[in-house]
Amino acid sequence: MVHLLNAIDDLLTPWFHDHGQGKYRVGQVRQWLFQQRASNFSEMTNLSQSLRDELSRDFTIWSATVAKHTQADDGTEKLLLTLADGGQIECVLLRDEVRRTICISTQVGCGMGCVFCASGLDGLSRNLTTGEIVEQMLRLQSLLREDERLSHIVVMGMGEPLANLDALLPALAEATREDGLGISARRITISTVGLTKAMRRLAETTPRYRLAVSLHAPNDELRQQIVPVADKIRIADVLAEADNYFDLSGRQLTFEYVLLGGINDSPREATELVNLLAGRTAILNVIPYNPVAGLPYKTPSHNAQRAFRQILEQGGVSVHFRHRKGDAIDAACGQLRRRAQSEAALVGIDARVGEGEGGRGGVS
Ligand code: SAH
């Protein structure tokens, strides 16, 4: 079966033509998928029964199953999806006043190896397809109440988005299209560890989205200890590509900095950061480390966090401390998948066997 979300127009246009139907049919299906939040062809009642039957014979809308659906008191919801080949990914819906932000994954696992991150602990399995990325968007959208609208997308789930641009860009195009999710590109943020060639490619082809660069250290020596790929990519080059992206896109840059107690949270690093970022139109997002089972890192004390923040603010850096949402449901990337897999290992079952399809019944 063909996964429709991989290339909706390119698959449906010839299909409807072959079935003697006008091109407007493609728009009708799109309307069902993106606006009506339909989850199967049988709901598409402006198509004849026989067309609906034939569509469901030839195409599948969902390629994954929901292995787990968790909800936190603050409105955060998280899906653990099991893909057709058994790989697992996570995606999250965050509710913040009127904002409805989804956080999506781009790879199964991750090859970047950042030492504090759960997603990369077992390395990279594979890139996601465009369809698997769009599927996360639609499944998360279907969790919303009728009066809620998706407003923002952050590509900050599992994986390195810039290592999978070929699949990501068509998926984001569906997100921004008027007859797709209709989300403005300004409200979509791609987070990268700083792959300079791909940053250049994004700047030259589609400088429409916001870019967030995971820095985590103010100098190359420390960064290499925290972000292993940094042994080939110098901070100066990452910043040059980020500046180039800013010049071409006009979108304010974000730098991310996971604060690890005793490692990158001293006043010295704060001062170095001020020197590095001063003069840039950028926001620094400081994320106190979210503990990952089995890893030795520590979340800095409140005092250390306050001192770090003060130096940055006094140095004129626009700094946000990201408040943590969804802690209770392991909403930091890669954590739910790990927990599910280790629990499954404990009881001797295969984590790849989902608990149910549809995502509505499985709330725990
Ligand atoms: N590979 C991309 C996107 C995925 S990670 C990148 O590196 O930016 C998204 C953000 O979550 C990154 O800034 C990452 O450093 C952060 N993150 C990952 N694990 C974390 C943890 N345990 N605690 C706090 N932040 C974490």
Q: Does 193 contact ligand 1 (Cβ within 6 A)?
A: yes
Task: Give yes or no for residue 289 CB within 6 A of ligand 1.
Answer: yes
Nearest residue (CA) to ligand 1, atom 9: 156
* CA dihedral for 127, 59, 21, 15, sign (positive or negative): positive
Q: Please list the active-site residues.
A: 90, 333
Q: Is the CB of 165 under 6 A from ligand 1?
A: no
For residue 15, the CA-to-ligand 1 centroid distance in Å is 41
Ligand 1: nearest atom to the Cα of 155 = 3
- From 133, 209, 214, mutation site for ligand 1 pocket: most ligand atoms within 8 A of C-beta: 214
pLDDT at 279: 85
The token duo for 322 is 């990201």
- Cα 104 to Cα 158: distance, rounded to the nearest angstrom: 7
Ligand 1 centroid distance, CA of 60 (Å): 32
| Ligand 1 within 6 A of CB of 89 | no
8 ligand 1 Cβ < 6 A = no
% of the chain at pLDDT higher than 90: 86
What parts of the chain have a pLDDT lower than 50?
346-364
Q: Is 195 in the pocket of ligand 1 (CB under 6 A)?
A: no
What residue type is assigned to position 63 of the chain?
S
Residue 346: per-residue pLDDT: 45
Q: How far apart are CA 304 and CA 300, in angstroms?
A: 6
Q: How far is the CA of 353 from the centre of ligand 1 (A)?
A: 27
**Helix, strand, or coil here: 99?**
strand
Ligand 1 atom showing the smallest separation from residue 159 Cα: 1
Residue 82: CB atoms within 10 Å: 22
The pTM of the full predicted model, rounded to 2 decimals, is: 0.92
**Is residue 353 exposed (0-12), middle (13-18) or buried (19+ Cβ within 10 Å)?**
exposed
pLDDT value for 322? 78
Alpha-carbon distance of 38 to 231, in angstroms, equals 46
Tell whether ligand 1 has an atom less than 6 A from the beta carbon of residue 332.
yes
* Residue 210 near residue 186, CB atoms below 8 Å: yes
Per-residue pLDDT tens for 258-291? 999 999 999 999 999 999 998 898 999 999 999 9
Taking the centre of ligand 1 as the mean of its atom positions, its distance from the CA of residue 74, in whole angstroms, is 21
Q: If 0-12 CB within 10 Å is exposed, 13-18 middle and 19+ buried, where does residue 44 land?
A: buried
